[in-house]
Structure 1
């Protein structure tokens, strides 16, 4: 790859990242600026509560705690016991803050769905089948990720081989 092409590719990646970041910031600003009816927000929150089987808040806080511990232990391995205690205390501080995150999730749903649609969604997740789906979603998502990973690995090998064959047909060898 030539220097110009490498720079162009690098520039394209930076531009793509900037576009995604700008889109996320614009959506974030829109989410907080837009008014949502209280009953619509309440239905959206009920949906979030009905489907929070993965305990996303707790999992995130514990993951951040583990990451912090690993980072700090590499700097000073002798403080493991004290660090464990302090991280446990900090995790406890976050216990009462789950609602803040779930309210933000609910707001996203409230902006995307009408009150009637949210009522239908809540009715479904209140049903036996909806509860079964909510309970199974975490495991199903892991299975789907594994399938996608295998597919992507196979696609990567096949795609690369086809590109090389196409280049060989054009008299280019790598």
Structure 2
């Protein structure tokens, strides 16, 4: 109930405590049933907003519409003009549905982290270090992927050399 007194006069605190106490079994039951609390989902949404998760799926609807159109075009080339026009209609009618992805992600996060953990993560990502992590992590991941690819190419050369050496021991040149 920390900070609740800022919003409620002292005379309402007992009633508020009673309401919270009565609601706790329902919240616990929902969490046990695999349903995160609305507060946990809200914290997860805030966390995902801070991490700009929407950027991952912002173009999901137009992308899926375009892929579907291209698939249909492969077997219906004579309908190219119509399919191009229909793609615009379908994309417009389904615009905004990508928000379902964000809602689903929030529920997943809320199912994997407690409400308090999500609040702590939000606090962290709002801190200077958290902001730096958000800004620098994509660059670090990209550089790491580049390093891993370079390492794999060099290591593949080593493995190839080992294969050739072992085959030479068997009298077979490859």
When residues 67 and 99 of structure 1 are mapped into structure 2, their CA distance, relative to the original with a 3 A threshold, is closer
Q: Distance in 1 between matches of 2:45 and 2:116?
A: 14
Contact 2:41 2:110 in 1 (8 A): yes
Contact 2:61 2:97 in 1 (8 A): no
Q: Distance in 2 between matches of 1:83 and 1:147?
A: 43
Number of the residue aligned with 1:41: 41
Contact 1:54 1:138 in 2 (8 A): no
Q: Deviations over 1:72-124 (max 9, x none)?
A: 33333343333222222222233222232112211222222222221121122
Is the partner of 1:97 in helix, strand or coil?
coil
Q: Which has the higher contact order (CA 8 A, sep 6+)?
A: 1
Is the partner of 1:96 in helix, strand or coil?
coil
Contact 1:44 1:110 in 2 (8 A): yes
RMSD across aligned positions (CA): 3.0
Q: Distance in 2 between matches of 1:146 and 1:93?
A: 40
Number of the residue aligned with 2:118: 118
Could you tell me which runs of 5 or more consecutive residues in structure 1 were left unpaired when the two chains were aligned.
Answer: 1-32
When residues 138 and 68 of structure 1 are mapped into structure 2, their CA distance, relative to the original with a 3 A threshold, is farther
Q: Distance in 2 between matches of 1:139 and 1:61?
A: 26
Deviating runs (4+, > 6 A) in structure 1? none
Contact 1:124 1:130 in 2 (8 A): yes
